Amino acid sequence: MTRAIETTTVKLSLPDATRTQDNFQVAAYLAQPQESGSYPGIVVLQEIFGVNVHIREVTERIAQEGYVAIAPALFQRQAPGFETGYTPQDIETGRGYAMQTKASELLSDIQSAIDYLKSLPQVKKDGFGCIGFCFGGHVAYLAATLSDIKAAACFYGAGITTRTFGGGAPTVTRTPEIKGTLYAFFGTEDGSISAEQIDEIEAGLEKYNIPHRVFRYDGADHGFFCNHRASYNPRAATDAWQQVQQLFGQLI
């Protein structure tokens, strides 16, 4: 069932303890079903290209499936309003902003998005999901450590086993903190994520008994889910979307 939806841009206020400047707010794209009801909340985590057309389309697609979805601008501190395409220059610019992010600030921004969803009467309060791609795929793995996140979908998040945002131990070391179910999606032709790194992620999830599934798509490259990129792989994207629907169905 594809639902009629409505979309808007909202502002998220951060908790006083994490706010680095007065009146700082994070912009976020919100999509929700028009029909009244009670819906789970999903946080959509951007690629290095900002909350661009692809991320907005994903947010809308999730809302059409019966969720209230929100995509916070994770580069709000570095470049307010930033969104771009997929040229080599765009990639270089986006990577530069991603390198300036910090894990603590990303978690604060995501929690603020969750808190905003909690304030909406139509949103269920007993568990949220997140989904992220590329940079956001790594962020989704980090976000899975938040107590409110019961289902996390991580698409081709590079660097999970080798680093974290702002420095410190790699994000994979936080695997024991994951609170819910995690699905991870990778393409076997992705030059930014080795088979050994995928195996390390899966081994950690198994070691700490985290409910999970790891999907490896033969012939798929980085960005295979994005139909605006040359690396789009319809076969892999279609299967991955079915898996995401199953994962988020646990929240209904």
Catalytic residue among 148, 221, 222, 226: 222
Q: Nearest 5 degrees, angle CA 238-CA 123-CA 77?
A: 75
Residue 190 annotated in active site: yes
Residue 222 annotated in active site: yes
End-to-end CA distance of the chain: 14
Cα distances from 76 to residues 60, 100, 144, 225, in angstroms, run 21, 11, 21, 24
List, in sequence order, the alpha helices (H) in the chain.
53-64, 88-99, 103-118, 135-143, 195-207, 234-249
Catalytic residue among 134, 138, 148, 212: 134
Tell me the two tokens of residue 232.
Answer: 């789009």
Nearest CA to 48 among 158, 171, 175? 158
Kindly state the DSSP code that residue 22 receives in the 8-state scheme: T
Catalytic residue among 109, 148, 190, 221: 190
Residue 199 annotated in active site: no
Give the active site residues: 134, 190, 222
